[in-house]
Amino acid sequence: MPERLKKPRFRPGLFITAQSLDYILEDQLRLSPTITLNALSFEFIRLFNGQRTLHEIHFQVTQNRSGYPSIEDLARLVSELDDCLYLDSRKFQELIFGPVRKPSCIGCYSEDPKIIASELNRLFTADGGPGLPGEWGSRVARDGEIQGLLVPHMDYGRGGTVYGWGYKELVERSRARLFLIIATSHYSGERFTLTRQNFATPLGVVETDQKLIDRLVELYGEGLFNDPIAHLPEHSIELEVLLLQHLIPEPIRIVPLLVGSYADCIEAGSTPESADDIQRMVRSLRKLAAEIQEPFCTIISGDLAHIGPKFDDPEPVNETVLAASRLQDRRILEAAEKADAQAYYRVIQQEQDRRRICGLPPTSLFLSALQPGQGQLLKYDQYVHPEGFESVSFAAMAFHSHRNL
């Protein structure tokens, strides 16, 4: 047995719940399958803290009494948990620090590249879609090159043709093969998180630009790798990467930046400009963008309102609630179209972010740091659960030309 497993320890992101006579081991990071354990197994695993050897754990539980699992049975349980990535072992460390980030959203899309192509094409060709994109960069000479794109990050089935409207504009009005992806962070308490890992999907591996990562770290300072797990379960970058692979001629490169909550600013009644870490990132991204000597496009991966009982609202979603939410979304999008970072934030702050605008952090950061020209709303929609359990709204918006950085 590998040395690290001789003193087994659970990794972060797990929780156990009791259910009748069993215990349910679950992973809030969605990296491991749910496992059901009996009460006897629980007696062993509750001692998996990295301080005790298997023999010490076995002796403490059994006291050498008969009728208990053998030490060999306990070793098999440890190996099974390790195979499922439940333990802080070499296998899990390689997942975190290896050169490639493995996909975590398969199921949202197929493992088969041929099926993926069909699935993604439907985002353009389904009812209400814009049609398949023309040739890469085909409208740049006539309409100009876009410098930024706001798109959803919810699953393709619900985000639907809003993705298509955004990515059609990207394909036809950009010559970029370098993409700065500023995305909502759903699983980390850190404000900003980078990764050096390249991104793998069934369509291949997309390179993370190490030189630009190095330069951003140099400009911002320490703290951008404080949470090495943050990118592993995160869908907000992976779903954009897969579409880029499907649509943009290879090779493409990315700079993947996750942005955590601005709730502290909202609750304090302050602005992002008053937060030192946000202002450092604004300055850092602005300088980095000014130094890039090739076409690039920034993708803002963020949704709008999250309302309904799923998100702890007291009442099911109905048409009155949806209409009010659409009106507020319209105010947010109008501020974004004007590329007015302060007005965009102010609309959300005034309602105390009661509708949970998860795209607030990446969109606010983009507007402040990259200072784009006018935005153009391409498509807006609301997903509504048939029984009113939830509604999530989202939009596609293109930003045309940078102001002087």
Q: 402 pLDDT exceeds 60?
A: no
**Nearest Cα to 24, choosing from 38, 11, 45?**
38
- pTM, 2 dp: 0.93
**For the segment 315-361, what is each residue's pLDDT rounded down to a tens digit?**
999 999 999 999 999 999 999 999 999 999 999 999 999 999 999 99
To the nearest 10 degrees (0 to 180), the angle between helices 276-291 and 210-220 is 140
| pLDDT single digits (tens) 253-301 | 999 999 999 999 999 999 999 999 999 999 999 999 999 999 999 999 9
Report helix angle 161-172 to 235-247, nearest 10: 50
Cα separation of 87 and 108, whole Å?
26
**Whole-angstrom distance, CA of residue 124 vs CA of residue 364:** 28
Residue ranges matching CATH 3.40.830.10 in the chain: 100-399
Mean pLDDT of the region 10-30: 91
pLDDT at 52: 92
CB 165 within 8 A of CB 130: yes
Distance separating alpha carbons of residues 176 and 164, to the nearest angstrom: 18
Structural tokens at position 142: 């006539």
Q: Which CATH number fits domain 100-399: 3.40.50.2000, 3.40.830.10, 3.40.50.80, 3.30.465.10?
A: 3.40.830.10
Specify the pLDDT at position 1: 61
Average per-residue pLDDT for the chain: 95
State the Cα–Cα distance between residues 13 and 28, nearest whole angstrom.
6
Give the C-alpha separation, 394 to 355, whole Å: 12
CA nearest to 361, candidates 374, 377, 348, 350: 348
Reported as a single tens digit per residue, the pLDDT across 149-171 is 999 999 999 999 999 999 999 99
Summarised one tens digit per residue, pLDDT across range 106-153 is 999 999 999 999 999 999 999 999 999 999 999 999 999 999 999 999
Question: Which fold is adopted by the domain 3-96?
Answer: Outer Surface Protein A; domain 3 (3.90.930)
| pLDDT tens digits for range 360-374 | 999 999 999 999 999
The predicted structure's pLDDT at residue 219: 98
CB count in 10 Å sphere of residue 398 = 24
* Residue 185, Cβ density class (10 Å: 0-12 exposed, 13-18 middle, ≥19 buried): buried
CATH 3.90.930.60 domain residues, the chain: 3-96
Rounded to an integer, what distance in angstroms lies between the CA atom of residue 165 and that of residue 132? 9
User: With 90 as the cut, is the pLDDT of residue 5 above it?
Assistant: no
Predicted local distance difference test score (pLDDT) of residue 403? 45
189-217 pLDDT, tens digit each: 999 999 999 999 999 999 999 999 999 99
pLDDT at 2: 63
pLDDT band for position 405 (cuts 50, 70, 90):
very low
User: Does residue 64 register a pLDDT over 80?
Assistant: no
If pLDDT is split at 50, 70 and 90, which confidence band does 86 have? very high
Q: Which residue type occupies 4?
A: R
The half-sphere exposure of 190 on its side-chain side, counting CA atoms within 13 A, is 17
- Comparing 1 with 388, the larger pLDDT belongs to 388
CA angle 195, 197, 198 (to 5 degrees): 125
